[in-house]
Amino acid sequence: MEFEQLHHSISPGSTQSIHEFSLESVFSLQSEDSIVLSAIQDDALYDHCMERLLEIETELMDFSSLTQDNVICIESSDDVLFELGETTGDVSLLKEENSLLKGIHEELLEDSSLTDLLLMGAEVVEAQNWTLSSKIIAKLRNLLLDGENGGSSFNRLALFFTQGLHYKSITAPEMLLPRPGQRQQYNMSSFQVLQELSPYVKFAHFTANQAILESTQGDQEIHIIDFDIMEGIQWPPLMVDLTMRKDVSFKVTAIIGDQQDVAAVQQTGRRLKEYADSINLPFVFKQMMMLNEEDFESVEVGDTLVVNCMIHQLHMPNRSFSSIKTFLGGVSRLSPKLVVLVEEELYSFYKFPYMSYVEFFCEAIHHYTTLSDSLVSSFVSANEMELKLIEKEYLGVKIVDSVSQFPCEKKERLLWEEGFAALKGFKPVPLSSSNVSQANFLVSLFSGRFWVQHEKCRLSLCWKSRPLTTASIWVPKSEK
């Protein structure tokens, strides 16, 4: 495992290292034209059709299950007509309005822009109107697949949103992408491209590592509990910095939430052990299957304990709300010296529990198009293959996961808030000036309009006006 080191001195007596994977080439792409969201051609017609659509749907609410065959059957049965108190003329009117309703639906689908159709799809999915949702999804697929070969980046993302809506509306889909929530096989090549294009991953790792270094000054036994270790690439840079201290040992406990991840985590542990041995750092690696909060009682806490929790990062699979709640509740029992929390902005603890499905869907469109824009702007030549690779393996999977797994029931969303409440014995503290300086230096190494925002004890990596991911550090309230 090879790491290339880039050293940057932040303050006297503290060595900061930026470690990057070596890349044989730099991938680039010409900036795409800005995406202009088209408006509906005739607003007056749209408003009239929508009003009429709502009127008809209200009137026909009790007859929504009637099909053309049902109507024909009613026409041929005088007994049924008598029981319903209907006349043949009334049935004809019903057929006529059903036909009009179908016509209005089709007209709206034809006249709506791509973004309008996506939002309309989210609205009918939230309303559980599966008949209309299937029509909208079919219309979206037709529009997007027709232009797939020459489509824009936004069109490719829109196809992922369409897939997410489809998976949200059915129970046993034939997946075109990995099943939501399923851990993907790690692709180091695509990950290196992501690292080269964006400071997203490095920002999370370096900010967390700097906070850990500062909080453990003078400590000899440092123990990290890692919520989602993945390939463990966060830890070699920290190991290098720890070798500059005397008589320091390092221990990592990786949390496993699924039995299928055991082999991959064990392999990560072996690689980290080999790397630690190569730099003469005493190192212990352990793993723990997490089923409930009580599982954390088996963790040895005799040394300096630090919790590392990265949630829903672009290169990580989405975790269930219940697993995050269990993790934060379990580690809080151990009274760690520090909790490092890095959240994708879309899943912020401060706003996520209070959003409806449609509100979340709108935020997801803004969030992932912003992420895509930040990647597209980093290309300077016409090599589009690497961009499509990132879109498929990271953005696409995250979009499908997010859209299909968002819980429509508020009670389920509140699990997110309850997980955050597990930190009630902790308080956020401002990040150090050294940490902020390191983040600013990092973003200066990348092209585009990345910048860093530090306010209210939160350090955010932003693109243009929108934050992408946010780091915060938490200490026990008893600590001054």
Residue 39 φ/ψ region, left for φ over 0, alpha for ψ in the -120 to 50 degree band, beta for the rest: beta
Three-state DSSP class for 402?
helix
Q: Distance between CA atoms of 287 and 262, rounded to whole angstroms?
A: 8
| The pLDDT of residue 307 | 96
Burial degree of 56 (CB within 10 A; 0-12, 13-18, 19+): middle
Q: Which pLDDT score, from 0 to 100, does residue 383 have?
A: 64
For 275, residues 6+ apart whose C-beta sits below 8 A from its C-beta are 1, 236, 239
Q: What angle do CA 381, 383, 387 make, to 5 degrees?
A: 115
Spatial separation of the C-alpha atoms in residues 174 and 26, rounded to whole Å: 36
CB 319 within 8 A of CB 290: no
Annotated domain spans of the chain: 39-111, 197-351+408-476
Backbone angles phi, psi at 443, to 5 degrees: -65, -25
Which DSSP state fits 127? T
Residue with tokens 């009613």, as numbered in its chain: 74
Q: What is the CA radius of gyration of the chain?
A: 27
> What pLDDT score was predicted for residue 203?
97
CATH 3.40.50.150 is the classification of domain 197-351+408-476: yes
CB 443 within 8 A of CB 18: no
Q: By the 8 A CB rule, do 454 and 462 touch? A: no
CA atoms within a 13 Å half-sphere pointing along the CA-CB vector of 185: 1
Residue 36 has, within 13 A of its CA and on its CB side, a CA count of 4
The whole-number pLDDT of residue 99 equals 53
Q: State pTM to two decimals.
A: 0.74
- Provide the pLDDT for residue 70: 36
Angstrom distance (rounded) from CA 64 to CA 255 = 49
Per-residue pLDDT 10s for the chain (480 aa) are 433 333 333 433 333 444 333 323 322 323 333 332 333 333 444 444 444 444 433 443 333 333 333 332 333 333 332 233 344 444 454 455 455 445 545 555 554 688 999 999 999 999 989 899 999 999 999 888 875 444 788 899 999 999 999 999 885 344 344 444 444 444 667 788 888 889 999 999 999 999 999 999 999 999 999 999 989 999 999 999 999 998 999 999 999 988 888 999 999 999 999 999 999 999 999 999 999 999 998 888 777 999 999 988 888 887 877 888 899 999 999 999 999 999 999 888 777 777 889 999 999 999 999 999 998 887 654 467 778 888 888 899 999 999 998 876 666 666 666 767 778 889 999 999 999 999 999 999 997 799 999 998 999 999 999 999 999 999 998 765
pLDDT score, position 303? 78
Nearest Cα neighbor of 224 from 269, 267, 164, 266 is 269
Residue 102: what pLDDT?
Answer: 53
Q: How far apart are CA 273 and CA 232, in angstroms?
A: 11
